[in-house]
A = this chain, B = another copy of it.
Amino acid sequence: MLGRLNHVALAVPDLATATAAYRDTLGARVTAPQALPEHGVTVVFVDVGNTKIELLEPLGAESPIAAFLEKNPSGGMHHVCYEVDDILAARDQLKTAGARVLGDGNPRTGAHGKPVLFLHPKDFFGTLVELEQA
């Protein structure tokens, strides 16, 4: 079921500072920031060739990463996203195996316009796992 690593998401308190560090200090290719109000984040993609790093800054009062940054004010590793071929089949297989799907259990449209689900970090050893239909 598990396909390639689509991205690793890192929450940062200040996107401009973080983007400058990845671009100038680490010498990576970075995109312009994109505001995704429906996801409560502004995102910059760092292209590392075989996958992407997503730098996430909270956007708006209901940002899903606000609580994480309250606990981790300097920022930190937020989630990993794996690709799957069929997100409904993956969800059903995971639920049968006892894994908990966050929210109402139905895929929603993710930051890349594709269906995504999040799995409970307690079922994956403290790591928040996103699945995206490739």
Residues of A within 8 A of B (CB): 1-5, 8, 10-13, 17-18, 21-22, 24-28, 46, 48-51, 53, 55, 72, 74-78, 80, 82, 93-94, 97-99, 121-127
The answer to whether A76 and B126 have CB atoms under 8 Å apart is: yes
CB distance from A11 to the nearest CB of B (A): 8
Q: Which of A27, A55, A122 has the most B CB atoms < 10 Å from its CB?
A: A27
The answer to whether B50 and A50 have CB atoms under 8 Å apart is: yes
The answer to whether A4 and B126 have CB atoms under 8 Å apart is: no
- A15's nearest neighbour on chain B, judged by CB, is B125
A2 to B126, CA, bound (A): 27
Taken together, the copies of this chain in the complex come to 2
- Residues of B near A50 (CB, < 8 A) are 4-5, 50-51
The answer to whether A21 and B74 have CB atoms under 8 Å apart is: no
The answer to whether B99 and A25 have CB atoms under 8 Å apart is: yes
- Residues of B near A80 (CB, < 8 A) are 8, 53, 77
The answer to whether A75 and B21 have CB atoms under 8 Å apart is: no
- Residues of B near A13 (CB, < 8 A) are 125
With A5-B50, A5-B51, A50-B4 in contact, is A127–B76 under 8 Å at CB? yes
With A10-B127, A74-B125, A126-B76 in contact, is A2–B28 under 8 Å at CB? yes
